Copies of this chain bind each other. A is one copy, B any other.
Amino acid sequence: MEYRAPIADILLSLNHAGQMQAGIDQGIYADLADGFAQVILQEAGKFSESVLDPINHSGDRQGARLNGHEVTTADGWRPAYEKWVEGGWNGLSAPEAFGGQDLPRLLNSACLEMWSAANMAFTLCPVLGIGAIEALAAHGTPEIQQLYLPKLVSGEWTGTMNLTEPQAGSDLSQLRTRAVRAGDGTYKITGQKIYITYGEHDMTSNIVHLVLARLPDAPAGTRGISLFVVPKFLVNADGSTGARNDLYCAGIEHKMGIHASPTCTMIFGDKGGAVGYLIGEENRGLACMFTMMNNARLATALQGVGMADRATQHAVQYALGRKQGKAAGSQGSGPDPIIEHPDVRRNLLTMRTYTQAARAICYATAAAIDRAHRETDATARQQASERAALLTPLAKAFSSDIGNEVTSIGVQVHGGMGYMEETGAAQFMRDVRIVAIYEGTNGIQAIDLVQRKLGLGNGAAVAREIADMRASLQELRASNDASFGRTAVRLGEAVDAFERASHWLSAQLAASPATALAGATPYLRLFGLARGGVFLAAQALAAQTGALTDAGKDASKYVQDARFFAENLVIAASGLELSIVEGGAFAADSSSNLVN
C-alpha cells in the first residue's frame, strides 16, 4: 500500500488547532499567505509519496551496513538524499541568513509529519541536522556559523547530536567524555558516544558532530558540560575540507526497527583527541542543548503522528479489500469486507481519531512555538512561550504513545498478514517503537509536565488551556447539533477531571513529591485525551461551516470522528483521575516488593 499524503486532514488541523489561517489574517504568518502553505504542503506530500515512500520497505529489509568504520546506506538512500537537497527541503525551517527559508514551525511540522510517515528511517537524518543547525545558529561564533551553516542548511553536509554515553542516557550529569583546551582556542575531545543517529554514512562529504563533553576543571553534574562542534573532516578557513578528524564509528546497533537509519557508536580521540570547537560558553553546553530540546521533542512527536497516520491508511485499505465472514445485517451473498464488521471499524476509528487528536496537539504546539517569536504583543509572546513549554511534553509523549498503540492495532487489523514482514504493517510498529523512548522517555516527559510545566506562570498556563477548552465546548453546546451525540458531555467531564487533577497534583508536589510523580503518566494521558478531544470537536464544528478549508463537504466524517473519540476513548478520563488522586500508594512502598 502506497503512502498518500493526507493533505485535507492536515490542512483542517493546521487551520484549526494550528490557527494558520487566523495567523495569516493576523499578519504573523504573512509568509504563508496567498496559498503558499498549500503549495508547500502539496510539494512536500509529493516528495513523500514519490521519493521517500518507495524506498521505505526495501530500506528496512536491507538496513544500513558497517564495513570497517564505514557505513553504507541502503540502496536508494543516496539518490533520495540528493533529491532532498536539490528540492531545497533541508533548509525549510533554517535561517534565511544561511540559505534557509525560515518558514514557520507550523508548516514545517506538517511536512515533517509527512516525511516521517513516508520514511521515518530516512527523515531522521535531516531531523538531527536541524538540531545541529539550530544550535550553531543560536550559539555559534560568526566564524563557525559562516564555515558550517551554509552547508548544513543546504544539506551538503549533515549534522548529528552526540549526547548519550553508556552510563548517561536520561541522566546527562553522568557524562564522561572529556574536552581539553589545546591552547590554540580549540579543544581535544576524547570519549565514547552511543546511539548516534547517522553518526556515519555515505551520503555526504562531511558530517558535523555536536558533542557534549566535560572540561578537566568543570564542576560536577550538568553545570559542567560544554558543547563542541567536531567535524568528521576538518574545515579549512576557505570552507574546503581538510584532514580527517580523530573520530570514527566503532559499530552500529542491531535495532528493533528503523534499520536503514545507522545508529552509531562513535569513538572520539583514539589518536590523541578529536579537534573540537566550543559552541556557546564553557560549562553552558546543556543550556545550548535545551534551546533545541523543544523542537526535537516536537519532531519526535510528529514521527508518532506520521507513523500512526500511515498505519491507519494501510489498515483501512486492507480492511476494504479483505473479505471474511458475514457482517451483522449484511444482504450480500458472499463474505463481506472486514471493514463492515463493527469490531474492525472500532479498531480503524480508534486508529484514525487517536492520530487526529495527536496531530492537533502537535500543530497547536508548533503554532505556540511560532507565536512565542512572531506575536507583536509582548504578553501574547510570553503566553505563547508558556503554552509551547506546556504542550511540548504532552505532544511528545501522547503522540508517541499513540504511534505505538495505533501501529499495533494496524497489525491486528491485518490478522495473520500483519505479522508477516512483507505486508509492511509490522515495520510501522517496529519503526515507531523508539519514538516513546528517545529525546527523553515518555516517563520523563510526564515528570516534566508535572514538575515544571504545571506550575508555569503560577498555574496560569494550565488555567488558560482549560479556559480555552471550555470556550470550545461552549460553542459545541451552542451548536445544538444532535449528530455530536454525547461529545460535549464526555469532553466536559474530561476537562473537569483534568482541572481537579491539576489542582490536586499542584498541592501534592509540595506535600509528597513522590506521590505526585506517581500520577505523572496518567495525568499526561488525561491531558491528551481532553485536549485532543476538544480539538477534534472544535475542528468538526469548523469543518461544518466550511469556513476553514474545503473540507466542508466531508464535515460529517469529522463529526463522526469527534464523537467516536469522545464516546469511546475520552471516557477513560474518570478512571485516570482516580489513578492520579487515589492510586499513588505504591509510590511510598519499598521497591523490594517488586523483587521475587
Q: Footprint of B on A, CB under 8 Å?
A: 4, 6, 8-9, 164, 169-171, 173-174, 194-195, 253-257, 313, 316, 319-320, 323-325, 327-329, 335, 337, 339-349, 352, 404, 408, 411-412, 415-416, 418-422, 426, 429-430, 433-434, 436-438, 441-443, 446-447, 485-486, 490, 513-515, 517-518, 520-522, 556-557, 560, 563-564, 567-569, 571-576, 578-579, 582-587, 589, 591, 593-596
Chain B residues, Cβ within 8 Å of A485? 582, 585
Provided the pairs A419-B256, A420-B254 are in contact, do residues A170 and B596 lie with their beta carbons within 8 angstroms? no
Q: Are B343 and A517 in contact (CB under 8 A)?
A: yes
Task: Looking at the assembled complex, report how far the CB atom of A592 sits from the nearest CB atom of chain B, in whole angstroms.
Answer: 9
| Contacting pair B171 A521 (CB below 8 A) | no
Q: How far is the CB of A216 from chain B (nearest CB, A)?
A: 21
Asked whether A348 and B416 contact (CB < 8 A) given A254-B422, A447-B343, A585-B485, the answer is no
Residues of B within 8 A of A4 (CB): 596
Which residue of B419, B447, B521, B591 contacts A433 across the interface (Cβ within 8 Å)? B419
Q: Are A560 and B583 also in contact (CB < 8 A) when A324-B171, A447-B343 are?
A: no
Residue from B328, B418, B595 in contact with A513 in the complex, judged by beta carbons closer than 8 Å:
B328
Cross-interface CB contact of A437 among B195, B404, B419, B447, cutoff 8 Å: B419
Residues of B within 8 A of A584 (CB): 342
Cα A429 to Cα B407 in complex, Å, equals 13
Per the bound structure, the CA–CA distance linking A265 and B593 in Å amounts to 47
Residues of B near A596 (CB, < 8 A) are 4, 6, 8-9, 313, 316
Q: Would A514 and B195 be within 8 Å (CB), given that A416-B169, A419-B433, A568-B579 are in contact?
A: no
Chain B residues, Cβ within 8 Å of A520: 342-343
Interface of A is mostly: helix
Chain B residues with Cβ under 8 A from A421's Cβ?
A: 254-256
7 closest A-B pairs by beta carbon, nearest first, are: A571-B575, A342-B518, A567-B583, A171-B324, A256-B426, A568-B583, A342-B587
Given the complex, which residues of B lie within 8 Å of A574, measured CB to CB?
A: 571, 574-575
B567 touches A582 (CB 8 A): yes
Chain B residue with Cβ nearest A436: B412
Per a CB cutoff under 8 Å, which of B422, B443, B585 touches A347? Answer: B443
| B567:A578 contact, CB within 8 angstroms | yes
Contact indicator A514/B328 (Cβ below 8 Å) = yes
Of chain B, the residue at the smallest CB distance from A421 is B254
Measured between alpha carbons, how far is A488 from B459 in the docked complex, in Å?
35
Bound complex: CA of A339 vs CA of B319, how far in Å?
A: 42
A312 smallest CB distance to B (angstroms):
9
Smallest Cβ-Cβ distance to A579: which chain B residue? B568
In the bound assembly, the distance between CA atoms of A323 and B454 in angstroms comes to 27
Which residue of B has the minimal Cβ distance to A7?
Answer: B596
Determine the residue in chain B with the shortest Cβ distance to A168: B324
A324: contacting residue among B170, B514, B575, CB under 8 A? B170
A441 to B415: give the CA distance in the assembly, Å.
7
Question: Are B430's CB and A415's CB within 8 A?
Answer: no
Interface pair A325/B170, CB less than 8 Å apart:
yes
- A76 to B343 Cα, complex, angstroms: 42
A34 to B545, CA, bound (A): 76
A269 to B100, CA, bound (A): 65
**CB < 8 Å neighbour of A572 from B327, B486, B575:** B575
Contact for A420 among B253, B518, B567, B594, CB less than 8 A: B253
Known A349-B594, A412-B436, A412-B437; judge A571-B567 contact (CB<8 A).
no
